Amino acid sequence: PYLERMNRFDVLEEKVKQILNLDHVIITPGDSDQDEWVKFDLGRRAYDFLKKQLKPSDTIAVTGGSSMAAVAEMMQPSTNGTNCFFVPARGGLGERVENQANTICAQMAKKMNGEYRLLYVPDPLSEETYQSIIQEPGVKEVLQMIKEADIVMHGIGDACTMAKRRKTPEHVLDKLIKGKAVSEAFGYYFDRDGRVVYKVRTVGMQLEDLSNIQTVIAVAGGKSKAEAIHSFFKQGRSNVLITDEGAAKMLIKGS
Ligand code: F6P
């Protein structure tokens, strides 16, 4: 039965890889919408993948969210990751502390005996504050590290769920509804064809920066995220997906 299951997942992974046009897809059994442990399993698989890619002194930029928090939870020191550096991919996005990129970044560094730098930016940012904050030497230094990251690891969310979780103001909600936003990642909201509908104003990684980064790993599972995952990958900036059976099966069904 174990081998049968392995084969079943090989086929699923291949299908998802083709649909989304990715280099690597890893699928873990179960559905993280239903069982909390599946999310930790996702985290473990994501960490295993990351570990294989890591070289000493690599910089890893990470986003927030509960899937990324699960990755942090499953991390352990690794010789591949000696002197690795963690940075948050983008500044404040309206998440609770435990889901913030800063928190997760510090936790990851602690687990892997690495270093970290944080982005201290108010949230949300006015245009004026934004322009002056990116001139701050402390912020500038971290922004440079983010742009030069060797690896990026990020979550993907359903647009509606994320807008609610961030207590998004009414006028922005209107934009998301009018633009038919389906997914969210890095503070960008996308429609079903992967077009940007709205972008949260904060410092850090811009979508364009991802094109220069060799390994961009998305960690997202649960049947409810299938559409969001499909939408996000339409704009083709990440090349690896760590997901679960629930999301994968729904994704195949819907395509
Ligand atoms: O807010 C950070 C973030 O990575 C979002 O970009 C993403 O949509 C969300 O978290 C995913 O969160 P979760 O893993 O809890 O679904």
Q: How far is the CA of 68 from the centre of ligand 1 (A)?
A: 8
Closest residue CA from atom 16 of ligand 1: 157
Closest residue CA from atom 14 of ligand 1: 67
Q: Given this model, what pLDDT does residue 154 score?
A: 98
Question: Mutate which of 66, 96, 154, 162 to test ligand 1's pocket (most atoms within 8 Å of Cβ)?
Answer: 162
Rg (CA), the chain: 17
Question: Both tokens of residue 252?
Answer: 């195949």
Statement: residue 6 has pLDDT above 70: no
Atom of ligand 1 nearest to the CA of 187: 6
Q: Given this model, what pLDDT does residue 4 score?
A: 60
The label of the residue with tokens 């998802």 reads 16
Statement: residue 247 has pLDDT above 70: yes
Closest residue CA from atom 12 of ligand 1: 65
**pLDDT tens digits for range 151-205:** 999 999 999 999 999 999 999 999 999 999 999 999 999 999 999 999 998 999 9
Atom of ligand 1 nearest to the CA of 69: 14
Statement: residue 80 has pLDDT above 90: no
- By percentage, how much of the chain surpasses pLDDT 90? 85
> Is the C-beta atom of 63 inside 6 A of ligand 1?
yes
- By percentage, how much of the chain surpasses pLDDT 70? 97
Q: Can you tell me the distance from the alpha carbon of 141 to that of 239, in angstroms, rounded to the nearest whole number? A: 27
Statement: residue 242 has pLDDT above 80: yes
Statement: residue 255 has pLDDT above 90: no
pLDDT average, residue stretch 115-133: 89
Confirm whether the ipTM is greater than 0.95.
Answer: yes
Question: Mutate which of 40, 42, 62, 67 to test ligand 1's pocket (most atoms within 8 Å of Cβ)?
Answer: 67
The strand order across the sheet containing 24-28 reads 24-28, 240-244, 215-219, 151-155, 59-62, 85-88, 115-116
**pLDDT tens digits for range 19-72:** 999 999 999 999 999 999 999 999 999 999 999 999 999 999 999 999 999 999
Q: Given this model, what pLDDT does residue 122 score?
A: 82
Statement: residue 3 has pLDDT above 80: no
> Is the C-beta atom of 186 inside 6 A of ligand 1?
yes
pLDDT average, residue stretch 199-218: 93
Q: How far is the CA of 198 from the centre of ligand 1 (A)?
A: 16
Global confidence as pTM: 0.95
